[in-house]
């Protein structure tokens, strides 16, 4: 069964110019995007900055609506409503509520996902992401690495079937990147569908079953992991595609 299906999806952003109120300047987000991701698959989205990776993820989550075409999530078209309880999202920059404690953050966000998790459940989630802190520690005291771990924790605390990760290693040190990679590998092995957006090719190469390459909002190529079985092969394909 397909977890995500895009059929000829286009999305552009319009900005009203102050100089001329009638002039609407449109920027392409994605253009005529069609692809399908199967349940249990790990799909990577590669592209340069502004290629449309985040727009694609926002369309999956229903944060923005397509101008044209259809997006479906587990067979349902927007509004996704309760189907979103099966999804965990890690934004590129996770602005967590700094005045809440670790427990409150996980409690707040898991309840919004429609799941009530026990204190033990929170502890297990934190253990899984390698965050060794008290549940009552306030978020504003966290380092960047700890914040990223808590952000991952909030994405899995309600045990979703699908994970959508936007640049999960952004801003992490090499050790943090390695740990994040291992974490995603474990989640992959547990059978979750993972959509990974990144501009770190090696990360995508190691983790994904299939990779879509976006150029200026268009999906120009989809490659299977068999096509990049040797290290560095994906980089060659990517560079050939975007240059």
Partner 1 sequence: MKTLTLSYYTLVENIRQKIFYVLILFGVVLLAAAGLLGVIGGEQKIRVLKDLAAFATESIALFSSIFISSTFIYSEIENKSIHMIFSRPVKKATYLIGRYLGILSSLSIMIIFMTLLGLLVVIVSGGKGELQDALNVLMTILKIAIITALALFFATITTSKITSMGFTFFFWMLGNFTMELDFLSRMANSFVLKVFSLFIYTIVPHLHKFSAQRPFGITEFLLIFLYSVIYVLLCMAASLLLFRKKEF
Sites of contact with partner 1 (CB under 8 A):
58, 61-65, 80-85, 87, 89, 91, 93-97, 99-100, 104, 108-109, 111-114, 154, 164
Minimum CB separation of residue 99 from partner 1 in Å reads: 4
Q: Least Å distance between CB 97 and partner 1? A: 6
**Of 153, 147, 145, which is closest to residue 128 (Cα–Cα)?**
153
Least distance from C-beta 77 to partner 1, angstroms?
Answer: 15
Q: Please, which residues have CB within 8 angstroms of residue 80's CB and are 6 or more apart in sequence?
A: 61, 62, 73
The number of beta carbons lying within 10 Å of the beta carbon of residue 19 is 5
**CB of 79: closest distance to partner 1 in angstroms?**
8
89: its two tokens: 């999202």
Say how many C-beta atoms besides its own lie within 10 A of residue 95's C-beta. Answer: 8
CB closer to partner 1 out of 44 and 91: 91
- Tokens (6 digits) for 212: 């879509």
Residue 64 Cβ vs partner 1, minimum distance, rounded to whole Å: 4
Q: How far is the CB of 198 from partner 1 (least distance, A)?
A: 18
**Cβ partners under 8 Å of residue 63, min gap 6:** none
Two tokens at 198?
């990144």
**Cα-to-chain-centroid distance, residue 146:** 19
Cβ closer to partner 1: 32 or 104?
A: 104
Which is closer to partner 1, CB of 102 or CB of 154? 154
Is the CB of 55 or the CB of 238 nearer to partner 1? 55
CB 229 → partner 1: shortest distance, Å? 33
Question: Sign of torsion, CA 18 23 25 31?
Answer: positive
Return the residue matching tokens 């990679």: 181
Of 150 and 213, nearer to partner 1 (C-beta) is 150
| Residues 208, 188 contacting (CB under 8 angstroms) | no
Residue whose CB is less far from partner 1, 80 or 228 = 80
Q: Which is nearer to partner 1, 147 or 234 (CB)?
A: 147
Q: Render 85-144 in DSSP notation, one character per residue.
A: GGEEEE-SS----TTSBHHHHHHHHHHHTT----HHHHHHHHHHTT----TT-BGGG--H
């Amino acid at each position: 069964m397909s977890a995500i299906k895009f059929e000829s999806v286009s999305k552009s952003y319009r900005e009203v110019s102050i100089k001329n109120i009638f002039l609407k300047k449109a920027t392409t987000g994605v253009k005529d995007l069609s692809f399908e991701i199967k349940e249990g698959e790990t799909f990577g989205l590669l592209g340069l900055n502004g290629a449309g990776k985040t727009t694609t993820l926002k369309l999956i989550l229903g944060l923005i609506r397509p101008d044209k075409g259809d997006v479906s999530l587990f067979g349902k078209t927007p509004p996704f409503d309760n189907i979103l309880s099966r999804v965990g999202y890690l934004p590129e920059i996770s602005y967590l509520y700094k005045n809440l404690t670790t427990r409150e953050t996980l409690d707040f966000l898991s309840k919004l996902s429609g799941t009530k998790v026990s204190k033990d459940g929170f502890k297990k989630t934190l253990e899984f992401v390698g965050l060794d802190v008290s549940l009552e520690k306030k978020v504003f005291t966290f380092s960047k690495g700890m914040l990223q771990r808590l952000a991952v924790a909030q994405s899995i605390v309600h045990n979703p079937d699908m994970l959508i990760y936007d640049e999960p290693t952004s801003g992490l040190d090499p050790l943090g990147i390695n740990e994040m990679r291992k974490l995603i590998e474990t989640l992959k092995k547990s059978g979750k569908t993972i959509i990974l957006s990144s501009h770190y090719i090696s990360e995508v190469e190691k983790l994904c079953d299939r990779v879509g390459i976006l150029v200026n909002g268009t999906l120009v190529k989809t490659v299977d992991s068999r096509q990049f079985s040797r290290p560095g092969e994906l980089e060659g394909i990517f560079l050939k595609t975007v240059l």
